[in-house]
Structure 1
Amino acid sequence: MRTRRRARVRTTRVEYLLPHAHETVFWARWLTAAFLTRDATAAPCPADPADAFLIVTELVANVTRHTRSSCRLRLCFQDGTLTVEVSDDCPDRPRLRPAGDGEESGRGLLIVYALAHTLDVLDGPAGGKTIRATLSTG
């Protein structure tokens, strides 16, 4: 009788609780960079880490701009996919809205939607929400 060996799947996860503060977006980007450039023995990061930085920036900025909540940033790399999750306590779902030509804001969620392989909004068990974006390496 032959025993089958399971393929070993490498998963790396981190989770951070970030305060509702002006510098939260900076720290979220810094933590994402640290996650994506971890030791050389880890699995490779997404094809373009700049996409991950931009997605994290936009999602965390939306929490600090549109809620009074702290946020939870989760990053998970598994099977060639980077998952970015940003959770907050506000039950209001994000809305895609058209931005005027001269406006400086209003395009963030459209950018995230364009860069992410998938984008989901999940209701939280305590009334908040989680926005999940995935990026593939290949």
Structure 2
Amino acid sequence: MHQSACTTAEAPETARARAQVVDAIRETAPGTSEERVADALLVVTELITNALRHGEGLSACTQKVQDGRLVLHVADHSDRLPVIPRRSDCQPFEGGYGWSIVQTIAERVSLRALPAGGKEICAVLSLA
């Protein structure tokens, strides 16, 4: 099992988390298709971007590959849960697709409140 983590003390960047995901997949599941790697990169990017834009900042992220699955944990400082915005066919709109993308690509997605405040999102993606 390969596992890596970053915290706010390390000033995580989306690029760093993406590199950690690729390293974890290549080391532990080297036969993973480029399509599955791209899906994993999209999900980690969306989760971190949402934490930075809507979650009052990223507090932690971990990635591990286990039993042919990538398990991502992304925590932020906000208690607000992600939502899919309602849209009108007549009004132009921008954004609001990230959470839908995560839910579509991931095998499972769960949320939990953190004891000190904030929340953690866990997304599990099949690498097969």
**TM alignment of 1:20-39, pairs within 5 A:** 24-38=13-27
- Counterpart of 1:136 in structure 2 is 126
Note the residue ranges of structure 2 that are not aligned, 5 or more in a row: none
| TM-score, with structure 2 as normaliser | 0.81
**TM alignment of 1:103-114, pairs within 5 A:** 103-114=93-104
| TM-score, with structure 1 as normaliser | 0.76
Q: 1:97/1:65 Cα in 2 relative to 1: closer, same or farther (>3 Å)? A: same
Higher helix share: 2
Q: Look up the SS of the partner of 1:92 in the other structure.
A: coil
Pick one of 93, 100, 109 that aligns with 2:81: 93
Q: 1:118/1:100 Cα in 2 relative to 1: closer, same or farther (>3 Å)? A: same
- Deviation digits for residues 61-89 of structure 1, max 9, x if unmatched? 00111133333111111111111110112
Note the residue ranges of structure 1 that are not aligned, 5 or more in a row: 1-10
Alpha-carbon RMSD: 2.3
Aligned residues of 1:12 and 1:76 also touching (Cα < 8 A): yes
Q: Look up the SS of the partner of 2:20 in the other structure.
A: helix
Aligned residues of 2:62 and 2:72 also touching (Cα < 8 A): yes
Q: Partners in 2 of 1:74 and 1:56 — Cα distance?
A: 10
Structure with max Cα Rg: 1
Percent identical among aligned pairs is 32
Code of the residue aligned with 1:97 in structure 2: it is P
